[in-house]
Amino acid sequence: MGLRSTASCTKDSDYNRPTTPREREFKEAFERDLPEYAKMCQGEAPVIIFHQDAFAADYQPSEFSLLGMTIEYAGLMGKEVRIIGKNRATLAAIQ
């Protein structure tokens, strides 16, 4: 069945307008801690692409948390997120 969001944004300016203090705090902290990623999400590209092994290749809980935050931030900026690659494909290539 999948997950469905009840939120909707109809124009680009909606993505840059914090709707709650909690969202604003999240965005400010994220932009402070990961400024290059934040700039990328604020750019013109409609899609953010990650390789599957970019986060938590060795199943670290902190990396799973970071992945969730990067997906959330991209969504707040109106970006689509795609995860590509096969499990450990990059690790296998260097061995």
pLDDT at position 4 is 44
Residue 35 pLDDT class (50, 70, 90 cuts):
very high
Can you give the pTM of this predicted structure? 0.71
Residue 55 pLDDT class (50, 70, 90 cuts):
confident
pLDDT at position 28 is 95
Tell me phi and psi for residue 70, to 5 degrees.
Answer: -70, -35
Contact 58, 26 (CB under 8 A): no
3-state DSSP assignment of residue 84: strand
pLDDT at position 5 is 41
Whether residue 86 is predicted with pLDDT greater than 90 in this model: the reply is no
